[in-house]
C-alpha cells in the first residue's frame, strides 16, 4: 500500500502522540510496509537517532508555512499515494486521488472543557472538528474514545474504526515480575493540571497519613500545565507539604529511576483516551491504583485497584490496597494477558485493515 505519515509531533516524547507514531511506524515496517515520512527538517536528526528508516523521509523546507500548503499536494501526487495518515489531528491538503486518515486520541476538550486553559480548549476543539470533517478515515485508540467520538459526532460513525494501541514496548525497560521497593515513594506521573485530579489525590493522601503516619512519601512527576502553580500549593494548605514533592519534567531515563524506586503507582486522572502511564506501572511490577473512568476502566480494571476519582476516600482505599496487598495473582494474570494482546503488531494490523477498508484495496 502506498502510504505516508505526517510527523507533526515531538518524536522524542516517551508517551502520547509521539510514542504512537514511532511505534506504529516500526510495527508497519516489520509488517512489510514502508510509508513515506513527512517531517520538518529540524526533526530528521532525532528520527535517525531512533534507528528508523530515513530513505523515504521528505522534509518541509523554509518558509514552512508555504511548504505545508503546497508540498503535500505535490508529494502525494508524484508518489501516487493512496492515503496519508495524520496522527496529530492537523490535516494538510493532498492530491484529489489521495485519502486522509487521522487518529483521535481523546475527546477531552468536549467532555471536560474546563480542565484545560480556555484558549487551549478552543484550539483543540477546532483541530478535532477540522480533522473529523476532513478525514476519510478516523482511527480511535480505545473503545471508550470511539464511544465518545460517536456521541459527540454521530456522523463520524461511517468512517470510524477502533485500533487499540500497543503497550509491549514498555517491557523493554521493566519487568512484570519485578518486586517493588516497599520503602519507596508513592508515584504519580502526569502533567500538573486539573485533568490529572491531583487536588483529590492530595486529599486522599492526607487521609492515608491520618491513619498511618508511616505511609511512604508522595512524588508527582510531570511538568506544570494549566494552573500548575496553584495545584502545587495544595499540599501545604492541607498540612502535608513536607510529605509531597514535585520533580517537574523528567527525561525518560530519570523517569525509569522513579519507577524503579517506587512502592506503587497512583493514577487519579478524570479522563484518558488510552493512558500509557498505567501499563508503564505494570511493566515495573508496581501495584497500581487507578480511576474507574473511560479507557482506564475499559482496559485496565482487572489489573489494578480501581477507585472513584471524585471521592478522596475511594482514592485513599486504592492506595492503601496497593501498599498492603501488593499485586494480586489475578492482577498479574490480567497484566500478562494485556501485554500479550495490546501489541504494536496488532495495532499495525488493525490500522492496515482500516486503511484497506477506506481505500478499497
Flag whether pLDDT at 296 surpasses 90: yes
Is the domain spanning 3-166+343-359 CATH 3.30.450.270? The answer is no
Which residue spans of the chain are classified as CATH 3.40.50.2000?
3-166+343-359, 170-341
How much of the chain exceeds pLDDT 70, in percent? 98
Residue 81, C-alpha cell as written in the block: 499515494
Taking the domain 170-341, which CATH number applies? 3.40.50.2000
Q: 3-state secondary structure string, 32-100?
A: CCCCEEEEEHHHHHHHHHCCCCCCCEEEECCCHHHHHHHHHHHHHHHCCCCEEEECCCCCCCCCCCCEE
Q: Flag whether pLDDT at 338 surpasses 90.
A: yes
- Output DSSP code: residue 105: -
Query: What is the Cα–Cα distance from 162 to 142, expressed in whole angstroms?
Result: 6
Distance CA 283, CA 312 (A): 26
Task: Locate 73 and state its grid cell.
Answer: 499536494
Q: What is the pLDDT of residue 174?
A: 65
Q: How confident is the model at residue 172 (pLDDT cuts 50, 70, 90)?
A: confident
Cβ-proximal residues to 131 (8 Å cutoff; 6+ apart), any chain: 86, 89, 90, 91, 102, 104, 138
Q: What angle do CA 44, 46, 41 make, to 5 degrees?
A: 25
Instruction: State how far the Cα of 68 lies from the Cα of 81, in Å rounded to an integer.
Output: 17
Burial code (b: 16+ CB inside 10 Å, e: under 16) for 108-127 equals bbbeeeebbeeeebeebeeb
Average pLDDT over residues 210-230: 97
| Count of helix runs (H) and strand runs (E) in the chain | 15, 13
Question: What was the pLDDT predicted at 210?
Answer: 97
pLDDT value at 13 more than 70: no
Phi and psi of 25, rounded to 5°? -65, -40
What confidence category does residue 43 fall into, taking pLDDT thresholds of 50, 70 and 90? confident
Q: Which residue has the cell 508518489?
A: 79
Contact present, 108 and 271 (Cβ < 8 Å): yes
Provide the pLDDT for residue 88.
Answer: 81
Q: Mention every residue, 6+ apart, whose C-beta is less than 8 A from residue 288.
A: 264, 265, 266, 267, 278, 281, 282, 300, 303, 304, 305, 322
pLDDT at residue 173, as a whole number: 64
Instruction: Please give the Cα distance from 19 to 21 (Å, whole number).
Output: 6
Tell me, what's the pLDDT at 222?
95
- Judged by average pLDDT, the poorest of 87-101, 145-159, 288-302 is 87-101
And the C-alpha cell for 145? 474514545
pLDDT in tens, 56-95: 899 998 888 899 999 999 999 999 999 999 998 789 999 9
- The string of DSSP letters for 155-184 reads GGGGGEEE-PPP-GGGGGT--TTPPP-TTS
pLDDT at 314: 98
For residue 52, pLDDT over 90 is answered with no
> Could you tell me which residues are beta bridge partners of residue 290?
267, 306
pLDDT, position 65: 86
Q: Which residue has the cell 491538503?
A: 93
CA 301/CA 318 separation, integer angstroms:
12
Is there a contact between 205 and 244 (Cβ–Cβ < 8 Å)? yes
How far is 247 from 218, CA to CA, in rounded Å?
A: 11
Amino acid at each position: 500500500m502506498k502510504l505516508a505519515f505526517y510527523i507533526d509531533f515531538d518524536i522524542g516524547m516517551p508517551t502520547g502522540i509521539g510514542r504512537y507514531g514511532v511505534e506504529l511506524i516500526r510495527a508497519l515496517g516489520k509488517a512489510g510496509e514502508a510509508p513515506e515520512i513527512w517531517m520538518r527538517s529540524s526533526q530528521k536528526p532525532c528520527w535517525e537517532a531512533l534507528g528508523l528508516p530515513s530513505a523515504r523521509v521528505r522534509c518541509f523546507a523554509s518558509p514552512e508555512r508555504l511548504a505545508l500548503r503546497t508540498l503535500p499536494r505535490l508529494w502525494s501526487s508524484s508518489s501516487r499515494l493512496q492515503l496519508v495518515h495524520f496522527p496529530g489531528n492537523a490535516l494538510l491538503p493532498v492530491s484529489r486521488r489521495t485519502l486522509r486518515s487521522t487518529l483521535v486520541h481523546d475527546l477531552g476538550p468536549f467532555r471536560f472543557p474546563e480542565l484545560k486553559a480556555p484558549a487551549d480548549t478552543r484550539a483543540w476543539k477546532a483541530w478535532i472538528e477540522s480533522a473529523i470533517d476532513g478525514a476519510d478515515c478516523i482511527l480511535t485508540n480505545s473503545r471508550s474514545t470511539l464511544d465518545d467520538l460517536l456521541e459527540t459526532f454521530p456522523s463520524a460513525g461511517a468512517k470510524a474504526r477502533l485500533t487499540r494501541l500497543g503497550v509491549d514496548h514498555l517491557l523493554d525497560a521493566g519487568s512484570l515480575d519485578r518486586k517493588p521497593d516497599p520503602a519507596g515513594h508513592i508515584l504519580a506521573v502526569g502533567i500538573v493540571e486539573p485533568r490529572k485530579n491531583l487536588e483529590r489525590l492530595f486529599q486522599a493522601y492526607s487521609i492515608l497519613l491520618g491513619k498511618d503516619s508511616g505511609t511512604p512519601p508522595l512524588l508527582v512527576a510531570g511538568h506544570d500545565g494549566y494552573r500548575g502553580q496553584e495545584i502545587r500549593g495544595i499540599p501545604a494548605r492541607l498540612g502535608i507539604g513536607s510529605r509531597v514533592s514535585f520533580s517537574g519534567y523528567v527525561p525518560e531515563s530519570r523517569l525509569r529511576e522513579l519507577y524503579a524506586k517506587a512502592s506503587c503507582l497512583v493514577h487519579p486522572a478524570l479522563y484518558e483516551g488510552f493512558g500509557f502511564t498505567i501499563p508503564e506501572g505494570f511493566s515495573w511490577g508496581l501495584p497500581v491504583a487507578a480511576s474507574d473512568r473511560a479507557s482506564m476502566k475499559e482496559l485496565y480494571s482487572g489489573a489494578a485497584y480501581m477507585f472513584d476519582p471524585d471521592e478522596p476516600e475511594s482514592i485513599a482505599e486504592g492506595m492503601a490496597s496497593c501498599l498492603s496487598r501488593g499485586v494480586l495473582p489475578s492482577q498479574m494474570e490480567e497484566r500478562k494477558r494485556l501485554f500479550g494482546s495490546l501489541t504494536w503488531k496488532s495495532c499495525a494490523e488493525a490500522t492496515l485493515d482500516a486503511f484497506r477498508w477506506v481505500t478499497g484495496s
